[in-house]
Structure 1
């Protein structure tokens, strides 16, 4: 049994490390946009390998959101084997909806500045909806059991950071519209 506990801690450490590393591009891209805004030159004055940082932010966000949505498939399998077929079906539908929304956000980002802001807001909503789905599916009775686990606390921490960065990026883009 102690070996199982050690294995779980080791696996969590890898999960936590990858989760934290996955948040770094969000932080760096938002930081680059804050720098451009504070510099007074505007968001379009900076680039990342020749790309507009807001486009890179949206593309990265869409990929990560789709990845997290795919993780619901495993949870749905567990829910179905636990006797919750309705919950499993809802999770599969949500997973597909989130992936299609992320793809739509990539397309919206090509339309114009206002649609880019809308895309950033939709992506933030997607991250919140997947966190909500994790909390709801952790227990058949919708308790906050997830929030008492180390994985759950990591999910809340990273999702909160990512959503706040989405709000920051959307606000910076909005401020630039009104300049």
Structure 2
């Protein structure tokens, strides 16, 4: 059974704050890449603290995606009161698969930088898939019980911003190929 958190503990505002702050690197790095592309230097010239903005974007994305996969694992575990069900097992396996996809994206980029567009799109698709699975599972019910209904809108809003950043970065990369 999911432990109910009294409203007085106000756990959601911290979750919301951390979620919102977690979006900032996506926005900053995507913005740097767009600015570099518009300046005529090319998106690949964008750097932050001497590091490639594209590499930073993909590495940060993979880390956050892995974090969300781990959170899904934990929520699926907590949602089960009578032992593991088929859905709980599937969610745990899926969370591992998503974490491995994120790791693979890092390897793809470091092995073959010319497939960065594929890597960015794969990461974006993984965020969408994770949100869809989360919302259609019992794990989401346990999260709603823990944080309240506003978690749902926060999670959707943040995912839309993150996926939009991925699509913007992919579009900038494709535009320079033409």
> TM-score, normalised to structure 1's length?
0.87
Paired residues for 1:41-52 under 5 Å: 41-52=41-52
State whether structure 2 residue 152 is matched by structure 1 residue 152.
yes
RMSD (CA atoms): 2.2
Kindly provide the CA deviation profile for residues 125-151 of structure 1, in whole angstroms up to 9, marking residues without a partner as x: 1111111121011479x9xx79x8100
Equivalent runs, 1:79-98 vs 2, <5 Å: 79-81=79-81, 85-98=85-98
Rounded Cα–Cα distance in structure 2 between residues aligned with 1:114 and 1:163: 21
Q: Write the distance in 2 (CA, Å) between the matches of 1:53 and 1:139.
A: 34
CA contact (8 A) 2:69 2:96 kept: yes
Measure, in 2, the Cα distance between the counterparts of 1:139 and 1:61: 23
State which of 5, 8, 24 in structure 2 corresponds to 1:6.
8
Higher relative contact order (CA 8 A, sep 6+): 2
Output the CA distance in 1 between the equivalents of 2:97 and 2:77. Answer: 18
The number of aligned residues is 170
Preserved CA contact (<8 Å) 2:62 2:123: yes
Tell me the residue number matched to 2:57.
57
Offset, 1:79: 3.2
CA deviations on 1:39-86 (whole Å, 9 max, x unpaired) are: 111112221122211111000000000000000122221333256601
1:132 alignment partner, SS class: helix
Aligned to 2:26: 26
- Distance in 1 (CA, whole Å) between partners of 2:57 and 2:82 is 38
Q: Per-residue deviation at 1:174? A: 1.3
* Gaps in structure 2 of 5+ consecutive residues: none
TM-score by length of 2: 0.87
- The Cα of 1:116 is off from its aligned counterpart by 0.9
